[in-house]
Amino acid sequence: MLEYKQVTDQMWTAMGDRTRRRILDHLRLQPCAVGELAQRLEIAQPQASKHLRVLREAHLVQVRTEAQRRIYAIDPDGLIGLDEWLAPYRQLWNDRLDALGRHLDATTTDTTTPKEHHS
């Protein structure tokens, strides 16, 4: 088992690069070979391989071999550390949004029925 802090530090470093985030976006849709990713992202294959290595070392992607091709895919297990780290922040936002909703409900007046004024 990988140490929680080490994995998240590697993930943040890996995801700090725009190209690597674009790779993750593509792999989220479907697994791809290095050449396919390089073509889709319009980058050189050695550059794509370098980014994939960083993502693999951060446990964000996994690789399998099919014939002579290396197919990369999102590593769902690798995202667990990041998800655990983000959980309290999601809860913070949910709590704040719930509080805002309660505040708005308490201060909203009925505007759906216009009040008639008699002279």
Tokens coding 9: 């530090």
CA distance 83 to 65: 28
Q: What is the pLDDT of residues 25-70, one digit of tens each?
A: 999 999 999 999 999 999 999 999 999 999 999 999 999 999 999 9
Tell me if 82 sits within 8 A of 35, measured CB to CB. no
Domains, the chain: 4-79 (1.10.10.10)
- DSSP β-ladder status, 61-66 and 32-33: unpaired
Q: What is the pLDDT of residues 26-37, one digit of tens each?
A: 999 999 999 999
Please state, in angstroms and as integers, the Cα–Cα distance from residue 25 to each residue in 6, 40, 49, 114, following that order. 23, 11, 16, 49
- pTM of the predicted model as reported, rounded to 2 decimal places: 0.72
Q: Which of 75, 54, 78, 51 is nearest to 63 (CA)?
A: 75
CA distance 24 to 22: 5
